[in-house]
Amino acid sequence: MKSRFITFEGSEGCGKSTQSEMLYCYLKSKGLRVVYLREPGGVKLSEKIREILLDPESKISPEAETLLYMAARAQVVRDIIQPALKAGKIVICDRFLDSTIAYQGFGLGINIGIIKTIGKFATLGIKPDLTIFLDLPVKKGLQHRCNYKDRIEQRSFKYHEIVRNGYLKLARLEPKRIRIVKVEPDKLTTQNNIRKLTDAL
């Protein structure tokens, strides 16, 4: 069995975690060896960095924010993603390097060339075989976040619009890898559209 690396991307409240977990269960039920994780997170150090990054009390510069996301990524790639792919497993990751390009690059104005260079270092050059971009209008997504909002979710509507448009630009640049899946009102319909792409892979 050849390894496959599948990532999920999307703006806030698009249902990415639900959809990626549903895909994980589906592939497991087929008897495949699948590893599932989220970014930032997946290992102790990266989960600690996640807490700092999402804490509304944290005061973090755009540069430090970019490097913290990269540090969290570097650890999970070394500890989990690279070994799993080497062992021929399927890895599903809820967010990856495209998130940094969208949120810190397009969103905060960090140079995208620099993000890609540091990204190559942090990911050990590992690239997803398939990236599912779950697309939902920002207004609808943010409606799902009415109570507690983390540090990133608290950013303006305009910021989140720029992030979404950034993702759409990335998808236009790499249409074979980044596939846009529209978020449907019925989550099973969305899931079936995702499965069509992963089954083909």
Interface ranges with ligand TMP (CB under 6 A): 12, 38-40, 69, 95, 99-100, 103-104, 152-153
Position with the least CB separation from ligand TMP = 103
Angstrom CA distances, 94 to 35, 60, 199, stand at 11, 23, 18
* Amino acid (one-letter) located at 47: E
Nearer to ligand TMP, 89 or 164 (CB): 164
How many whole angstroms separate alpha carbon 121 and alpha carbon 117?
7
Q: Residue 100 CB, nearest distance to ligand TMP (Å)?
A: 4
In the chain, alpha helices (H) = 16-29, 44-54, 62-76, 82-86, 97-100, 112-122, 138-143, 157-173, 187-200
Q: Residue 41 CB, nearest distance to ligand TMP (Å)?
A: 7
Nearer to ligand TMP, 69 or 133 (CB): 69
* Amino acid (one-letter) located at 65: E
Tokens of 201: 């892979």
Q: Residue 197 CB, nearest distance to ligand TMP (Å)?
A: 20
Nearer to ligand TMP, 2 or 59 (CB): 59
Q: Residue 2 CB, nearest distance to ligand TMP (Å)?
A: 26
> What residue has token string 């909002």?
149
Tokens of 88: 């021929």
Nearer to ligand TMP, 51 or 199 (CB): 51
